[in-house]
A and B are shown apart, each in its own frame.
Chain A
Amino acid sequence: MAAGAASASVEGAGTGGQAAPGLGERGARRSRWTGALAGACGILIAAATAEIVLDGALAHSPLIPKSPQIAGWLVGVGERLGFRVFLIALLVFTGAYAILLELVRRAGAGAISKRYAIALVAVPQAIVFAGPILLSTDVFSYIAYARMGVLHGVNPYLHGPITISGDPVFRYVGTNWLHVATAYGPLYTLISYPFAWLGVTGALWGMKAMALAASAGTLALTWRCARVRRLDPAFALLAVGANPLYVIYTLGGAHNDLLMLLAMMAAVSLWLSGRDAAAGATVVAGALVKASVAVLLPFMVIARRRWQPILGALGALAVLGVAGYAAFGASGLNVIAALNRDAAFVSSDSFPNEIAHLFDKPGVFPVDHDVLKLALVVILVHLLWRTWRGYDWVAASGWALLAISVTSTWLLAWYIVWSLPLAVVVRDRRLLVATLFVQALFIVHQLAPLLAPVS
């Protein structure tokens, strides 16, 4: 992916059609520059990704979870991945991403061809796919829950992976989650069940392939939604598909959030096509993968003020709910209990925890959880009122997802990616700015090892 190829693939160079020859020439030159600079950013993004993946392939790093050796063919090229190298690569990635977005935004729609934009997002994603699992043990929990249900006859909604301590996947599950039953929806658990028969390594590749496919689907739908709404689809594609938290953290960890995002964007796409019932049903399907996406439904209903989304949602809930109940019993449908349990956790990266430190408190207390829930309710009510008064429901949904992640005491990198695909298909640019700002703060918060290296 060289800069030379980049300029060749640029299309619509300043094509105003009726533009004066001089202006057209200037436009063409500017567009060539845009293509070349975008190519350079793409190379930096690919190089930073490759650095993380190649060094990560060696394992023995606090940033790489204990895992079966799935990237052995990459071993020997890199060195052990330390915090310093990882953070520098992450900063390079983020800087190149920011410049890339600004370039494409300034150049305007059509400055970057579809094929070229796809190449810019496909390369880093392919590199991540080829490498080891990055930064999270969650994928091993997914596999453990599947193996519990399929191979051991244990209900993953009642027990944690500790019940299968003799299983080969057990040693890879994160220690914090050994006693914890699954918090994911029954649809996701059913989807993951076939992977149990593939062995741990096969399941790992299966999960990675599913994450990559879900990412590709999400990006295709994001492109479509942006085009339908007469926004620049190339910008939308790059803003999501080349996002560092999306590529390194979410895809790198093969997180099931990508399936949730796929359902979310499918729902928006269906709604834009006027298929309200199908859109409502798809939101429910997404919520039965990961519950957070359910927040879209009330906004969707209020926006149209029709029964179709509700009927679609109820239909999907009936079908998928019965399937979930048949497979897991009532515990499989008790999403609220799982959400409440997770809401009580505290991660060091969460904003409430940082604010507590700012006010000289050691951390978040139970009363703070109540205050945060109240704040979230106030925000959601305001957004519902705004949607009722005509505000774009897709934007309101994006704000709601962003508010959920910012007020959560359990914040992980892939949670602040949720609002991003919605932010690039709405006209209210504040949502995109806010989402990227929150992401930037998350990255800044990771930088402590650069300022005071850990041994």
Chain B
Amino acid sequence: MTRALDMRSVRLIETTVLVLAGLLLAVATVYDLALNARVNHRLVADLRTWRTYTGHDYHNLTVDRQLLGTSSAHEVVCGNTTPGPPEARTQLCLVIYGPVVGGRRGVHGGWYTTAYGHDERASRYGCFGAGAQGRCPAATATPVDVRPAPRSG
């Protein structure tokens, strides 16, 4: 009798722990889903920004979310400067951040990298804009007039 009672208490405790664990998992899942949706929204804007800025409608673009800090919402988008297989040509990398306006975000600088350079520091040159300061191996960052992303096209 006492043992049965004990087991009922154990079961009650187990169920309580399960419900609490389930709540934690549910909250974490929904939070992460919302986070992923926000990131997707931002990345789509980043790709559109690169295409609009360069005038190239290329689809094999790489987005680096880690270089400028994952939580910073600052991304680097790279793509070929001329038609060719992915990363087979000189790459133009743009530093993109800020709010999504009209499906695009602001370009705050960038650099070029050699083909198959994988955007490693040694492969970069021609840094421009405030967002690219200190990103090239030599002190090549020169503040230039960064064109705002056109509103049409």
For window 1-55 of B, CB contacts with A under 8 Å fall at: 3, 7, 10, 14-15, 18, 22, 24-41, 43-44, 47-48
Does B152 reach chain A (CB closer than 8 Å)?
no
How far apart are the CA atoms of A351 and B24 in the complex, in Å?
10
Taking a contact as CB atoms under 8 Å apart, the answer to whether A358 and B32 are in contact is yes
Does A166 reach chain B (CB closer than 8 Å)?
no
Does A449 reach chain B (CB closer than 8 Å)?
yes
Taking a contact as CB atoms under 8 Å apart, the answer to whether B25 and A406 are in contact is yes
Q: How far is the CB of B18 from chain A (nearest CB, A)?
A: 6
Residues of A within 8 Å of B22, CB to CB, are 434, 437
How far apart are the CA atoms of A358 and B33 in the complex, in Å?
11
Does A355 reach chain B (CB closer than 8 Å)?
yes
Taking a contact as CB atoms under 8 Å apart, the answer to whether A441 and B47 are in contact is no
Residues of A within 8 Å of B26, CB to CB, are 441
Q: Which 3 A-B pairs have the closest CB atoms?
A: A448-B36, A452-B40, A451-B37
Taking a contact as CB atoms under 8 Å apart, the answer to whether A441 and B35 are in contact is no
Chain A residue at minimum C-beta to C-beta distance from B26:
A441
Taking a contact as CB atoms under 8 Å apart, the answer to whether A355 and B24 are in contact is yes
Residues of A within 8 A of B (CB): 351, 353-355, 357-358, 360, 362, 386, 389-390, 406, 430, 434, 437-438, 441, 444-445, 447-449, 451-455
- B15, B32, B71: the one within 8 Å of A445 (CB): B32
Q: Is the interface of B mostly helix, strand, loop or mixed?
A: helix
Residues of B within 8 A of A (CB): 3, 7, 10, 14-15, 18, 22, 24-41, 43-44, 47-48, 70-71
Taking a contact as CB atoms under 8 Å apart, the answer to whether B40 and A449 are in contact is yes
Chain B residue at minimum C-beta to C-beta distance from A455:
B44
Taking a contact as CB atoms under 8 Å apart, the answer to whether A430 and B18 are in contact is yes
- B15, B29, B71: the one within 8 Å of A354 (CB): B29
List 26 interface pairs A-B (beta carbons < 8 Å), by A numbering. A351-B25, A351-B28, A354-B29, A354-B32, A357-B31, A357-B35, A358-B27, A362-B71, A389-B7, A430-B14, A430-B15, A434-B18, A438-B25, A441-B29, A445-B29, A445-B32, A445-B33, A445-B36, A447-B33, A448-B36, A448-B37, A451-B40, A452-B41, A453-B44, A455-B44, A455-B47
Chain A residue at minimum C-beta to C-beta distance from B47:
A455
How far apart are the CA atoms of A455 and B42 in the complex, in Å?
11
How far apart are the CA atoms of A452 and B38 in the complex, in Å?
7
Taking a contact as CB atoms under 8 Å apart, the answer to whether B40 and A453 are in contact is yes
How far apart are the CA atoms of A353 and B31 in the complex, in Å?
12
Chain B residue at minimum C-beta to C-beta distance from A406:
B25
- Given known A-B contacts A438-B25, A448-B37, A454 and B44 have beta carbons under 8 A apart: yes
Q: How far is the CB of B71 from chain A (nearest CB, A)?
A: 7
Taking a contact as CB atoms under 8 Å apart, the answer to whether B47 and A355 are in contact is no
Taking a contact as CB atoms under 8 Å apart, the answer to whether B7 and A358 are in contact is no
How far apart are the CA atoms of A454 and B39 in the complex, in Å?
10
Q: Which of A360, A389, A437, A451 has the most CB of B within 10 A?
A: A451
Residues of B within 8 Å of A353, CB to CB, are 32
Q: How far is the CB of A84 from chain B (nearest CB, A)?
A: 12
Taking a contact as CB atoms under 8 Å apart, the answer to whether A448 and B33 are in contact is yes
- Given known A-B contacts A386-B10, A434-B18, A452 and B28 have beta carbons under 8 A apart: no
Chain A residue at minimum C-beta to C-beta distance from B40:
A452
Residues of B within 8 Å of A454, CB to CB, are 40, 43-44
Residues of A within 8 Å of B24, CB to CB, are 355
How far apart are the CA atoms of A389 and B29 in the complex, in Å?
35
Residues of A within 8 Å of B27, CB to CB, are 358
Residues of B within 8 Å of A355, CB to CB, are 24-25, 28
Residues of A within 8 Å of B41, CB to CB, are 452
